[in-house]
Amino acid sequence: MSSKRPPAPPPAIEGYRYVSLLGSGGFSDVYLYEQDRPKRKVAVKVLVADLKTEGARRRFESEANLMAQLSTHPFIVTIYEADITGDGHSYLAMEYCSRPSLDVRYRSGPLGVDEVLSLGIQVASAVETAHRAGIVHRDIKPANILVTDYNRPALTDFGISGTTDSIDDDAGMSIPWSPPEAFQGEGADGIKIDIWALGATLYTLLAGRSPFVRPGGDNSQRELMNRIATSPVPPLRRADVPESLEQALATAMAKAPSSRFPTAHAFALALQRIQAELNLSVTPFEVLEEAHPGDEPPQDDGGEATRVRQVVSIDPNATTNSPTVFRPRFPERTNTAQQPDDRTVLRAAHSGTEPTTGWVPSPPAGAENTAYDGESATQPTAGFGDTHYEGGDTAVVPRRRKNLVGIIGGAAAVVVLAVAAVLVVTAPEPEAAESQPPVSQPPANAIEGLSGNVVPPEELAGKVDGDDAVFTWTNPDKRDGDLFIWTPVTALGKGEPQRTPDPGVSIPVAENDRTCIEVVVLRANGKSSDPVRGCAD
């Protein structure tokens, strides 16, 4: 915050103890207080202007209530309390963010592309959440993006001052991050103002200065306002900043509000596409989903949901060892004599294969012992609880029959091995290797008639000449019949592709902002190169 005026004395607030001054702005002071109950440090923002009328108080309270609803968002500062001091000044007690704000960070040096993309998506989700609640910020800038103790951005200062009688609509305006229409004194679209300011903020983090500040030049308010209204967004000229990001920022800061991203969500989607283009992890867009009619909360199962598994059983009268899958049903128990309450753990071993565990009904009294390997006949299995199954045709293999099946299976395996050995010895020799070329051998030529892929154009450059943008390029692998397809490109999409036989084109400059195109080489056989993108400076 700037210090154009001396801060006011900290007010006495019941339940809070003053600690220190955090900052001072044109219409508010921010102090560090310690709250008594619960014991914690809080930032208290006190508006300088007093609320003289009852209508102003009601508007402040209404907007404070909306802010409290927004403060549940992970990237918006949490509001603890909104009230009015004894001398008539409104204040907000909010989350204290101890880390340096983005204003402090960018003044120490530009931030990395990956961090700026992530910050942009996170703050855009906070802005979109506010817009959906009917609140516009009007003063997005690096100083109003705090950083929490967990190193997350937290947007603050949602224009509470706009509700006071003594503050003009543009009192909180920060010129370096404001769009042209903000200087005209007319009713402007607050959503489009916020989109411009967010784009200018991300530009500032990447450049280490606001978009229209010229190092060593005249950076007075009048000159800044003139450049914002008439000059195109200057290129960042950073080798690690892709052209797509330059274009997204230029779209967010287009002179005409209608040429900007329609919503903060659309801006965030463009930033997510750039993350994917750079093979970076895509940052989630955090916004509250609206409940749809008919949606009902899930029923509480008491934390004892049953996981239904397949139960494997073996038929003792079958001629093979193949298990049959028993899919349990859940009827009411009607015959307790045939379905006793205890359960048997079945461990069926098939010639050395892994054992399978499942529920089967216990045999009737007097049957042979079926608890194998020392396992209890009533040992429970996790995940089933008290769920009952119908026994059906499920049976248990007694120990003696199990051993007999294992012996027979082993003998059968010996016979199979012997037969396989005889077949290997008597098999005919393969044909000559020349008649069986390797499958992995690549084809002689992947593209018929060409020695390789179509080489894309090179040295694509653009220059603004009056009202036109002039682009030129070269064709490094020129062939007879070559044409070029060029397409105007913006962060919102692409225009209609057009053909030209010449390595150059002149098009009108779009809204005095960056004008970009994509160019591909088109061969006479219909094949084309990868696109190359360039912008006019």
pLDDT for 201-215, tens place per residue?
999 999 999 999 998
> Are 90 and 47 a contacting pair, CB within 8 Å?
yes
Alpha-carbon gap, residue 385 to 395, rounded angstroms: 22
Q: What percent of the chain has pLDDT over 70?
A: 62
368-404 pLDDT, tens digit per residue, is 443 334 343 334 433 333 433 334 343 444 444 445 4
DSSP 180: G
Q: What angle do CA 263, 195, 259 make, to 5 degrees?
A: 75
Does position 195 have pLDDT exceeding 80, yes or no?
yes
The topology under which CATH files domain 16-277 is Transferase(Phosphotransferase); domain 1 (1.10.510)
Asked whether the beta carbons of 365 and 387 are under 8 A apart, the reply is: no
- Asked if residue 529 lies in contact with residue 457, where contact means CB atoms within 8 angstroms, the answer is yes
Counting residues of the chain whose pLDDT is more than 90, the rounded percentage is: 35
pLDDT at 152: 93
- Decide: residue 425, CB within 10 A, 0-12 exposed, 13-18 middle, 19+ buried: exposed
Q: Across the chain, what does the average pLDDT equal?
A: 74
CB 97 within 8 A of CB 91: no
Looking at the chain, the domain(s) classified CATH 1.10.510.10 span 16-277
**Mean pLDDT value of segment 397-425:** 49
- What value does the mean pLDDT take over residues 509-528? 81
Which residues are CB-neighbours of 231 under 8 A, at least 6 positions away? 212, 512
In eight-state DSSP terms, residue 262 is: S
CATH of 458-536, one of 2.60.40.10, 2.60.120.10, 3.40.390.30, 3.30.365.10: 2.60.40.10
Which pLDDT band holds residue 410 (cuts at 50, 70, 90)?
Answer: low
Q: Where in the chain is CATH 2.60.40.10?
A: 458-536
Any idea what the Cα angle at residue 120 is, between residues 119 and 121, rounded to 5°? 95
Measured CA to CA, the distance from residue 503 to residue 206 in angstroms comes to 33
pLDDT tops 70 at residue 111: yes
Q: Is the pLDDT of residue 273 over 70?
A: yes
Query: Does the predicted model carry a pTM greater than 0.75?
Result: no
Residues sharing a CB contact under 8 Å with residue 224, sequence separation 6 or more, in sequence order: 175, 176, 212, 213
Question: Residue 27's pLDDT is what?
Answer: 73
Structure confidence by residue, pLDDT tens digits, 446-479: 333 333 488 999 999 888 888 888 999 999 999 8
pLDDT over 50 at 289, yes or no: yes
CA distance 152 to 63: 25
Give the confidence band of 293 by pLDDT, cuts at 50, 70, 90.
low
Can you give the pLDDT at residue 105? 93
> Which residues lie across from 345 on neighbouring strands?
359
| Catalytic annotation, residues | 139
Q: Is the confidence at residue 309, as pLDDT, over 70?
A: no
Q: pLDDT value at position 88? A: 80
Query: Residues 271, 117: contact at Cβ < 8 Å?
Result: yes
- Among candidates 460, 434, 350, which has minimal Cα distance to 397? 350
For the chain, what is the radius of gyration of the CA atoms? 37
Annotated binding site: 45
Looking at residue 381, its pLDDT comes to: 38
Whether 476 and 459 have beta carbons less than 8 Å apart is answered as: no
Residue 159 confidence (pLDDT)? 60
Note the pLDDT of residue 278.
Answer: 94
For residues 399-415, average pLDDT: 50
pLDDT at residue 503 is higher than 50: yes
Per the annotation, where are the binding residues for ATP?
Answer: 45
Work out the burial of residue 121: count CB atoms within 10 Å of its CB; fewer than 13 is exposed, 13-18 middle, 19 or more buried. Answer: buried
Q: State residue 320's pLDDT score.
A: 46
Sign of CA dihedral 260, 264, 266, 268: positive
Confidence of residue 23 (pLDDT cuts 50, 70, 90): confident
**Average pLDDT, integer, range 141-155:** 93
> Looking at the chain, how many residues does it have?
537
Question: Environment class of residue 171 by beta-carbon count within 10 Å: exposed (0-12), middle (13-18) or buried (19+)?
Answer: middle
pLDDT tens track for 426-447: 455 544 444 444 444 444 333 3
Q: Taking residues 20-37, what's their average pLDDT?
A: 88
Helix (H, G, I), strand (E, B) or coil at 464: strand
pLDDT of residue 295: 54
Give Cβ neighbours of residue 498 (< 8 Å, ≥ 6 apart): 485, 486, 487, 505
